[in-house]
Homo-oligomer: A and B are copies of this chain.
Amino acid sequence: MTASTSRSPARRSTTQGKAVREALLAQQGFRSAQDVYAALRADGHKIGLSTVYRHLQSFAEEGTADAIYNPDGETTYRYCGDQAAGRHHHHLVCRDCGRAEEVEGRAVERWAEETAEKFGYTQVDHTVEVFGICRACARK
A interface residues, Cβ below 8 angstroms from B: 69-71, 73, 75, 92, 94-95, 101, 103, 105, 107-108, 110-112, 115-116, 119-135, 138
Contacts and interface: CB of A to CB of B under 8 A. Distances in A.
Contact of A111 (B105, B122, B123, B129): B105
A130 to B, nearest CB: 4
A116 to B, nearest CB: 5
A73 B72 CA distance: 9
Q: How many copies does the complex hold?
A: 2
A135 B120 CA distance: 6
Contact of A124 (B120, B121, B132): B132
A128 B127 contact: yes
